[in-house]
Amino acid sequence: MASSDTVTSTEYIRHHLTNLTFGQHSDGAWGLAHTIEEANEMGFMAVHVDSILWSLFLVGIFLWLFRGVAKKVTADIPNGTQNFVEWIVDFIDENVRGLFTAKNDFVAPTALTLFCWVFLMNLMDLVPVDLLPWIFDKLGIAHFMKVVPSTDPNITFGFALSVFAMMIYYSIKIKGISGFAAELTMQPFQAKNPLIKIILIPINFFLEAVGVISKPVSHSLRLFGNMYAGEMIFILISLMFGTGAVMSVFGGALQLVWAVFHILIITLQAFIFMVLTIVYLDMAHQHH
């Protein structure tokens, strides 16, 4: 990306908020978008290549690190990496034991994977906003490059919908279809009179359906909104560079302060996403 003094602020911001998009062009051909307008025209079926590739790269790092430690784990004095991994595992295990009241050996590994994966995606927000896009542009690989997957609603919705699918699966598995249907239609309003009970069924279903559907929506948008706002602040701060010595120094100091504060945000957002996942799965295992 060219420096901010050769483009307008609006163009600079739009460039950094545009994904490397693959889709169908207006002439019917499939390929990568070379302009923001082309990316917008590709519509719903477009694929954000950068979000997918960075997500896979980051989960690969997680699997490589944890698998490597698991293969070399020792009961003797552990090294620093093993200590770090064991601390994370103990942290996740403690949260699962405190929040999940049923028994399901799948929940703890799911929570561990989600926490580490989301944290690594959020951590990419600390990479200077111009660095990787500039490198890929100079190498001729890609003109657009968003490196923070959690600022893409497609990624956060994908995570949230996967958790939602598990929640529905375990709700039906634990309670049966009839039990799950009763959970959606027989509460919160109840009555002993059969006729009143029938009348209340659509009202209960509407209220419960809204509550069920809102879970993946809020689950995804909470992560996306916080990370998108943090990325936007980094982009706005970077506009200060190249506008003068004083503003450049001030921008550098401001960026450092925001980066330090942002470490807390990226960790907290990963933790909240994991906690909500555990809570939702616990609700799926509960009998009303």
Residues designated catalytic: 218, 222, 226
Tokens, residue 114 = 């989600």
Neighbour tally for 202: CB within 10 Å = 10
Whole-angstrom CA distances from 99 to 10, 29, 65, 96, 112 are 45, 50, 27, 5, 14
| Calpha distance 228→145 (Å, rounded) | 15
Q: What are the two backbone dihedrals, phi and then psi, of residue 233, each rounded to the nearest 5 degrees?
A: -65, -40
Distance of CA 233 to the CA centre of its chain: 18
Whole-angstrom CA distances from 214 to 51, 169, 203, 220 are 24, 17, 17, 10
Q: For the chain, how big is the Rg over CA atoms in Å?
A: 23
Number of residues in the chain: 288
Tokens, residue 194 = 């059969």
Distance of CA 180 to the CA centre of its chain: 28
Helix-strand-coil split of the chain, %, nearest 5: 70, 5, 25
